[in-house]
Chain A
Amino acid sequence: MTELSQLETDRRALLGAAGALAVLMMQPGWIAVARAQEGATRRDPRFAFADRLCDLTIPATDTPGASAAGVPAFVLMALDEGMHGLKPEMLDRVMARLDGDAQGMFLGKSVNVQLNLLTGLDRAAYASRPADPLGAEAAWRRIKSAIVAGYYASEVGASQELVYEPAAGTSENIVMPADYRARSNEGHGGAW
């Protein structure tokens, strides 16, 4: 027991040290760089569309949605970097499809109309495995996966919407209580 308590203390000391380092890193210069990057992403012409897709998919409820969690920037990065087979043109395909379905600019429609249009595409995409691997339905599945992955790996999604539990400290089989909230850690770093 004594050894364990000692280890716990060491761990806390370690966490304290990590916290101190984080504060040090958040010096004005660091913040300026981060803000500049965020600004560049926001000026990306695709940002508004990615932002809408994110918030329609995971909207703000009693916790912030995907947009406030910074997911649009993650999705654009994932497309540009080719994460998990994503390709930049996938976003174009989804946009073309939604603009077509909207008979005009999807982004110009009301939120309700947008939600209906996206729900239509989503239903078609998941009704069966899309026949055309390069089509809008297949592209939407990939982008939606990226939105989900980005949200639950964000601080908001991981620790406000779900429970972020670095060290459970126990392994037990339980009957799931009605108010049980999933642990975000379980999916982190996994495939999507």
Chain B
Amino acid sequence: MAEFDAIVVGSGITGGWAAKELTERGLKVLMIERGPELAHIAGYKNEWTSPWDLPFKGYGDPKAERTTKRVQSVARLNEWNADYFVDDEQELYETPAESNFQWVRGYHTGGRSIMWGRQSYRMAPDYFEANVRDGHGIDWPIRYKDLASWYDHVEEFIGVNGTIENMPILPDGKFQPSMGFNAGEQHFADLIKAHYRDRRLIPGRTANLTKPIGERGTCQYRNWCSRGCSFGAYFSTQSSTLPAAVATGRLTQLHNGIVESIEFDPQSRRATGVRIIDGETGQRSIRTARIVFLCAGAYDSVGILMRSVSESCPNGLGNSSDVLGRYIMDHAYKVGATSTIPGLDQAMYLGRKPNQVIIPRFVNIDRQETDFLRGYSFWGRSERMNWNRGGEIAGVGVGFKQALRKPGPWAITMGTVIEALPRRENRISINHDKLDKHGLPLTRIDLRYGDNEQKAARHAFDELMGMMKLLGGEILSANREIAPPGSSIHEMGGACMGHDPQASVVNAFNQLHEAPNLFVTDGSVMCSTGDRNPSLTYMALTARAAAAAVSMAQEGKL
């Protein structure tokens, strides 16, 4: 007799959603989180800390940036939120020099939902068809219409603010009132509209509330969300899905429980539970359930499946097709530029808008028109330069100090999110010869960009320069080089969805082909990346899979 109806592995963005949906549908759920508890409000120790009260005045411990936070620093790490990111010297992984994958993680309640940038976009209908059309990767077993109502469901619950744009390449959603543009962004949007027919700059869509939802208050425009928000004004597990799951009275939480592997019964071909290592004592134990949801974050979920080795699954659970761990992807990132915006000296704003602007994809929309496949989008934000510019301009003394009392010139920074093609040779494997401090063999991540991403990067850079020229300002910085993979923190793939059990790992409802009561619902199941932030899609997939799991269980199909 299983202890629980369902076990959810991980309490991050997808684990929180699985816990909420499963408990609300009547299941008794155990949510297992490898890290310590990070409580809503009480856990946000630095939320209100002033910079002068921090040892390095908010600029971060330089020694940590070279050691314990060496990889994590590629994220928006600062002295307020540094503790939310893992210790690179403790949580080891391998990556060959040619890949140099940057694995950014947060091991605690809520996972990366605490630190995420909250940008929330739907994949375009076309993106679900790209693989089958151009022959790269595995064909998605679902299409946009299968997810549309789940996107609605998720958006209404988490609260996404945005504008209705009627662009097929960026489906609209159920939005709260948009945070809109500031003067710099509006000016750039107007220039682009006047000069281009194929593109548009629009306000970002972000999971910050412009209207309260239940206990969650509206955004106070502080733009320091990654410290945690005691107003509950942005979506995190803590502010949103966890309270909903707890309210059902059917959720049990277990912290410091590192899931090592899935317990699998080869006779019934069912998962029976999980094997756990206690993160504090090192003791191993087994927890059982009728259904398991794997939501540990894309590459940790793949690692757990690969470590689930038994006589019947010598290469890991779900890997008889040798597809597990393959087709890993991450958006190619960091190509971009910053320009000043002249002519807006009197325009100012109040509040620090925790949002950005975007230019959705405009290349290769109806036909193939470039020397690379698929495309890219731009994201960015405009602000007046602040006192930080003092280090970049001449001057000392009273006049210098007076000048910094006022905001500086307007500037806008734009960067690209480039779709990365799914490639079979980009893969995760396990190095059984090296163990981490918990005794787990190391995860090895080998993801390399190809010619397609490089060509797209060059195209994007040239297009961006053309648009920025319209501003008539000074280009303050420009970068043509793609950053190492992992830098966009949109790692995906490794347990891709598909119809064919010989060519994919999970089916259209996220069930492992080899163990139908095991659902994998994080980014590992993605068959392609699109060119936009993916977490909204992970949430929609998770909610859809949870509903399916409960129906199947009720019908005795699991």
Write the residues of chain A forming the contact surface with B, with a CB cutoff of 8 angstroms: 3-4, 7-8, 10-11, 14-15, 18, 56-59, 61, 65, 74, 77, 81-84, 115, 118-119, 122-123, 125-127, 141, 144-146, 148-150, 152-155, 158, 161-162, 164, 166-176, 180-192
Contacts and interface: CB of A to CB of B under 8 A. Distances in A.
Contacts of B80: 189
A18 B221 contact: no
A57 B400 CA distance: 8
Given A15-B48, A144-B391, A152-B387, A175 B59 contact: no
A118 B407 CA distance: 25
Interface string B382-412: 0100111011111111101110111100000
B280 to A, nearest CB: 27
A126 B393 contact: yes
Contacts of A186: 352, 383, 386-387
Main SS at interface, chain B: loop
A54 B365 CA distance: 56
> Of A171, A176, A191, which is in contact with the most chain B CB atoms at under 10 Å from its CB?
A171
A186 B51 CA distance: 12
B196 interface: no
Contact of B349 (A10, A81, A174, A191): A174
Nearest to B222: A167
Contacts of B346: 175-176
Complex A-B, nearest 5 residue pairs according to Cβ-Cβ distance, in ascending order: A145-B391, A126-B394, A148-B390, A168-B351, A171-B351
B41 A14 contact: yes
Given A61-B402, A171-B349, A188-B51, 20 more contacts: A3-B217, A14-B48, A81-B62, A119-B396, A122-B396, A144-B396, A145-B391, A146-B391, A149-B57, A158-B50, A162-B387, A171-B179, A171-B221, A171-B350, A172-B349, A172-B350, A174-B347, A174-B348, A187-B388, A189-B51
Contact of B222 (A10, A56, A152, A168): A168
Contacts of A158: 50-52
B253 to A, nearest CB: 23
Given A3-B215, A158-B50, A173-B182, A192 B391 contact: yes
Contacts of A126: 393-394
B58 interface: yes
22 contacts: A4-B218, A7-B232, A11-B231, A14-B230, A57-B396, A77-B56, A81-B56, A81-B61, A83-B56, A84-B62, A148-B390, A149-B57, A149-B388, A152-B387, A168-B351, A169-B351, A171-B221, A172-B351, A182-B387, A183-B386, A187-B387, A187-B388
B556 interface: no
A185 B80 CA distance: 13
B396 A153 contact: no
A86 to B, nearest CB: 9
B214 interface: yes
A172 B50 CA distance: 24
Contacts of A182: 386-387, 404-407
B220 interface: yes
A115 B396 contact: yes
Contacts, number: 188
A119 B394 CA distance: 9
A144 B390 contact: yes
A154 B53 CA distance: 9
B212 interface: yes
Contacts of B220: 167-169
B156 interface: no
Contacts of B59: 83-84, 149, 153, 189, 192
A66 B354 CA distance: 30
Contacts of A166: 48, 50, 222
Contacts of A184: 386-387
Contacts of B345: 176
Contact of A191 (B51, B388, B401, B407): B388
Contacts of B377: none
Contact of B212 (A3, A146, A176, A180): A3
A61 B406 contact: no
Contacts of B396: 56-57, 115, 118-119, 122, 144
Contacts of B393: 126
B389 to A, nearest CB: 9
B353 interface: yes
Nearest to B395: A122
Contacts of B347: 173-176
B195 interface: no
Contacts of B391: 141, 144-146, 148-149, 192
B486 to A, nearest CB: 20
Contacts of B402: 61
B531 to A, nearest CB: 26
Contacts of A58: 400-401
A9 B78 CA distance: 28
